[in-house]
């Protein structure tokens, strides 16, 4: 139940969706979407596949053209198609054949044709899942709080006076609202980690340049990653194994990891939230020793400026041809961000890329000794509109930029706060298929 007294359906795990059968699962998606508050529907949902077509896709075999009994659960090899019969949503940066990709804007299909399915869409379908719809986002993925002037700021499903977080706002909100068991997002500077933490979800971020992000509509190709959300640890483990090929066996030894409190490099962080995250991290990691802590903090000193310089200069390059003719169509804040980046001196951009390599070398040294690092994912719980300030954005990026610049995979774990609000931990990993993921999720299940 949300804070207005409206009853919110409990999320169903993947196995429960599979047990509904294709027709039942399609009907359930539509019923759950119809029950959402209108403001959440408008702000989160970009496109919903009609129920008959969704049922047919859920029933289809591996080739997507084989007839199947639409009244019975989809049958498949659970090893080759572990997501058979499972509906999901996709952030509207991924192309779905026959559906325009808007990327949170009002004009993108006018300047960019939508090709066939993105590679990640093809992959989840090959694994047996069906794309139930596409989700809204912060315009062109340039933001972390879930604001969008065209479709509405995306409300938190349980706290409608707060926002879900962004830029993968719609995907996170719809999983938290129980509309589907998992949804695809992207993460450049925290756009999986932040909404997962705000909405009490599990999330996973892959790595820049991998096959699943290369054909999504870009914000910053050097930093963009694919990712997704689930409501439970077991479902995150299932989707992680399916999408990364991560190991099914336990690690041969207990992984070595340590944690840093947020206040170590963000003094203004909420101390109560930071302490709660530190206690949660202590369940599977130890505090970093003084030498490790000092080394990391020294290496991260210029992270925020480095991230903003690289990210925004690349965003400007993507949008350069559209900024003048389509100025009135952009969110003014996003337009200004991209336009200002066009005036960055070339030597500043080159210096940022030099620092990026130094950060990645620092991480490589860390991972020669450790298997993971734990940091808070957010400095505060889900924000109200009045709290969505440039200072708040910089505070979030201070926590998320180290992993973003490192080009590293991240597992996000929810952390309960008082009154139903949540924060999160980001478990930073050297590679997406690290056995640490299964080890930690096993402790969460």
Distance (Å, whole) CA 201 – CA 436: 18
Judge whether 190 and 396 are in contact, CB under 8 Å. Answer: yes
CA distances to 76, 179, 306, 319 from 31, rounded to whole Å, are: 26, 9, 45, 38
Judge whether 260 and 373 are in contact, CB under 8 Å. Answer: yes
* Annotation says 65 is catalytic: no
Residue 135: which of 98, 171, 93, 188 has the closest Cα? Answer: 171
Dihedral pair phi/psi, residue 79, rounded to 5°: -80, -50
DSSP β-bridge partners for residue 428: 373, 410
Both tokens of 425, joined, read: 């931990």
What is the CB neighbour count within 10 angstroms for residue 281?
24
Dihedral pair phi/psi, residue 186, rounded to 5°: -135, 160
Residues with Cβ within 8 Å of 167's Cβ and at least 6 positions away in sequence, in order, are 104, 137, 138, 141, 142, 143, 144, 146, 186, 188, 191
What is the CB neighbour count within 10 angstroms for residue 368?
8
168 SS3 class = coil
Residue 144: which of 307, 378, 323 has the closest Cα? Answer: 378
Both tokens of 241, joined, read: 């194994």
CA distances to 218, 359, 426 from 344, rounded to whole Å, are: 20, 21, 31
Q: Which of 105, 118, 142, 167 is catalytic?
A: 167
Q: Which of 91, 105, 134, 168 is catalytic?
A: 91
Distance (Å, whole) CA 144 – CA 163: 10
In 3-state terms the chain splits into helix, strand, coil percentages (rounded to 5) of 40, 15, 45
* Annotation says 443 is catalytic: no
Judge whether 262 and 271 are in contact, CB under 8 Å. Answer: no
Q: Which of 105, 191, 362, 434 is catalytic?
A: 191
CA dihedral 11, 15, 16, 21 (to 10 degrees): 130
Give Rg (Cα) of the chain: 21
Judge whether 166 and 187 are in contact, CB under 8 Å. Answer: no
* Annotation says 167 is catalytic: yes
Residue 330: which of 162, 133, 102, 166 has the closest Cα? Answer: 102
Distance (Å, whole) CA 114 – CA 220: 19
* Residues known to be catalytic: 91, 167, 191
């Amino acid at each position: 139940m949300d804070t207005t007294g409206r009853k919110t359906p409990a999320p169903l795990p993947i196995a429960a969706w599979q047990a509904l059968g294709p027709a039942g699962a399609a009907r359930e998606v539509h019923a759950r979407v119809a029950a959402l508050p209108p403001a959440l529907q408008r702000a989160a949902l970009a496109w919903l596949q009609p129920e008959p077509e969704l049922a047919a896709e859920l029933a289809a075999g591996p080739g997507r053209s084989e007839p199947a009994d639409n009244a019975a659960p989809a049958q498949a090899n659970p090893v080759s198609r572990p997501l058979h019969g499972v509906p999901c949503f996709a952030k509207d940066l991924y192309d779905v054949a026959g559906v325009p990709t808007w990327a949170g804007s009002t004009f993108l299909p006018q300047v960019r044709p939508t090709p066939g399915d993105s590679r990640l869409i093809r992959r989840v379908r090959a694994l047996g899942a069906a794309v139930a719809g596409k989700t809204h986002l912060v315009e062109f993925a340039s933001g972390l709080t879930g604001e969008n002037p065209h479709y509405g700021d995306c409300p938190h499903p349980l706290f409608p006076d707060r926002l879900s977080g962004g830029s993968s706002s719609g995907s996170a909100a719809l999983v938290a609202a129980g509309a589907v068991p998992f949804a695809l997002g992207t993460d450049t500077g925290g756009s999986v980690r932040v909404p997962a933490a705000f909405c009490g979800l599990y999330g996973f971020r892959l790595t820049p340049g991998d096959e699943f992000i290369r054909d999504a509509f870009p914000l910053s190709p050097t930093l963009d990653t694919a990712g997704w959300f689930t409501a439970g640890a077991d479902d995150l483990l299932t989707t992680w194994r399916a999408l990364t090929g991560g190991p099914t066996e336990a690690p041969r030894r207990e992984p070595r990891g340590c944690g840093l409190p947020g206040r170590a490099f963000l003094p203004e962080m909420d101390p109560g939230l930071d302490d709660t995250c530190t206690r949660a991290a202590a369940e599977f990691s130890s505090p970093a020793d003084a030498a490790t802590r000092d080394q990391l903090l020294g290496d991260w000193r210029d992270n925020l400026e480095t991230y903003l310089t690289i990210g925004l200069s690349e965003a400007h390059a993507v949008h350069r041809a559209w900024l003048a003719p389509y100025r009135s169509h952009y969110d003014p804040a996003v337009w200004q961000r991209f336009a200002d980046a066009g005036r960055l001196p070339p030597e500043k951009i080159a210096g940022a890329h030099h620092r990026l390599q130094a950060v990645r070398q620092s991480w490589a040294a860390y991972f020669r000794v450790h298997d993971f690092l734990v940091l808070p994912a957010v400095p505060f719980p889900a924000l109200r509109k009045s709290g969505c300030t440039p200072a708040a954005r910089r505070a979030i990026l201070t926590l998320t930029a180290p992993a973003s610049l490192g080009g590293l995979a991240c597992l996000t774990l929810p952390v309960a706060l008082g009154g139903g609000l949540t924060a999160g931990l980001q478990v930073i990993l050297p590679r997406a298929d690290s056995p640490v993921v299964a080890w930690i999720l096993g402790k969460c299940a």
